[in-house]
Amino acid sequence: MENFISIVGRTNVGKSLLFNKLTKSRKSLVLDHDGLTRDINIGSMKLGNGIIHVQDTGGIPLVEDKINNMVAEKSYSSVHMSKIILFVVSASDGLLNQDYDICKKLQKLRCKIILIVNKCDITKKKYNINDFYKLGINEVFHISAKDNTGLSELQQRLSDIAKNESSQDIFRRISIIGKPNAGKSTLINTILKDSRMITSDIAGTTIDSIEVPFIYKENQFLLYDTAGIIRKSKAISLVQKYSISATLKTIKTTDICVFILDAEQGITKQDKNILNLIQDSNKAFLIVVNKIDKLSKSLLLELKRELHYFSNITDNAEIIYISALKNQNIKKFLKTICDISYSVFKRYKSSDLTKILEQAVSEHPPPMIKNKRIKLKFVQQSKTDSLKLIIYGNQTDKLPLTYEKYLKNYFIEKLQLVGIPIKIKLSKEKNPFK
């Protein structure tokens, strides 16, 4: 994947803000807080009709500990796929010994390196332009990501370098949602067969929604490893609160949610609350029970009985039992994701949808209103929302909610949309096809 731009540097030099500006998003959390980005966050930069992927790496920390060392290792190991490395330093800090150390490691790679001197707006006194050329990098941009100074020139330069590597690929967005330590990052690592995500037994290792491109049998996806959702009452730190916010935003913008459960813990109240969040967003979803290798056959059977009842209140969502660590049932998981993705984005002929409507009306006619039966005539799939069906007829505003729910369930059954919610919109307009 040589069409990557990687942003690398110390903590708190402005990498995430630069990432957000280049990708025109707010995917990376931006606070005056060291070590906020711990993993690889990937977005897209538009280049004409195509795109190039941009990855925001975890900041190389000054203080060494278990997590920080993992962050540094991931940051260095991820940039080998990049066509361009944006090495970010801070004008307000000046040139530090750690900048020299990072630069030496980057220069060993066969990648083009561009030095980004950020935060030029903060101070004039500490900022010595000649100091940063001591790193031996010929191409240098002096910018302020905060106030956009120098960004247009940088974007133009990146476009010139990478235009031949741009892509017009369309990705389906798949988010992995669940409690902390349910195995979300491990699942993505297993899928990718590469330790891209930082995993550990320390709760809260993932603090942002991490985006990773992935292709399986010609199906193109963006996998999102989200921060584990904890109860708000326990979200005491600023980082935790922003992590929850990022995860909730991901749910809203994703196409399919993979709801992962910890088999050892069973179904908890917290799990039910998370599921409600997914359902309220009206997203297609799949329930994945992880860590089944930790259960005996009898305990697994008991859990399946409990989940069978549980699924009856979740639009009969498909349930897959896996062990991400042991690579158990991962192929079945991937096949199911492809099937759901196909169903989510499938376009249906209005004539076929109308036939299903006629069958539903024949089996269970709409009620009478003042001795006149409500008539439902045509169905059209929304052009902007593939999961929305528009039903045209007379007196549709008087159709009871119970009958609307009946129609919804009928379409779900006939179209075989397991775990895929659909929306019904009723319209009194005349035949839209004439």
Q: Which residue has the tokens 């297993």?
A: 190
Paired tokens of 65: 């500990």
Q: What is the arithmetic mean of pLDDT over 57-85?
A: 58
> What integer pLDDT is reported at residue 333 of this predicted model?
93
Most confident of 1-5, 249-253, 264-268: 264-268
- Given a contact cutoff of 8 angstroms between Cβ atoms, the answer to whether 28 and 37 are in contact is yes
At residue 107, the pLDDT reads 84
CATH class of 172-345: alpha beta
* Residue with the larger pLDDT of the pair 289 and 233: 289
Asked if 324 and 290 count as a contact pair (C-beta separation under 8 A), the reply is yes
| The pLDDT of residue 184 is above 90 | no
Task: Answer yes or no: is pLDDT of 238 > 60.
Answer: no
Residue 190 makes CB contacts below 8 A (sequence gap 6+) with 324, 325, 327, 330
Q: Report pLDDT digits (tens) over 194-214.
A: 555 444 444 444 445 566 777
Judged against a pLDDT cut of 60, whether residue 37 lies above it is answered with no
The neighbour count for residue 370, using CB atoms within 10 Å, is 6
Torsional sign, CA 140, 12, 82, 66: positive
- Give the three-state DSSP class for 414: helix
Residues of the chain with CATH 3.40.50.300: 4-165, 172-345
Check whether 250 has a pLDDT greater than 90.
Answer: no
For the chain, the average pLDDT equals: 77
Q: Tell me where in the chain the CATH 3.30.300.20 domain(s) lie.
A: 350-427
**2: pLDDT strictly greater than 50:** no
Give which of 87, 111, 105, 211 is closest to 162, Cα–Cα: 111
Q: Percent of the chain, pLDDT > 90? A: 23
In CATH, the architecture of 350-427 is 2-Layer Sandwich (3.30)
Q: State the pLDDT at residue 402.
A: 92
Least confident of 182-191, 351-360, 400-409: 182-191
What is the CATH topology of the domain spanning 4-165? Rossmann fold (3.40.50)
- Six token digits for residue 190: 């297993």
For position 223, what pLDDT does the model report? Answer: 81
Residue-level pLDDT at 209: 53
Q: Could you report the per-residue pLDDT of 155-177, keeping only the tens digit for each?
A: 888 877 766 544 444 678 888 88
Strand, helix or coil for residue 422: coil
- Highest mean pLDDT of the ranges 78-92, 329-343, 410-424: 329-343
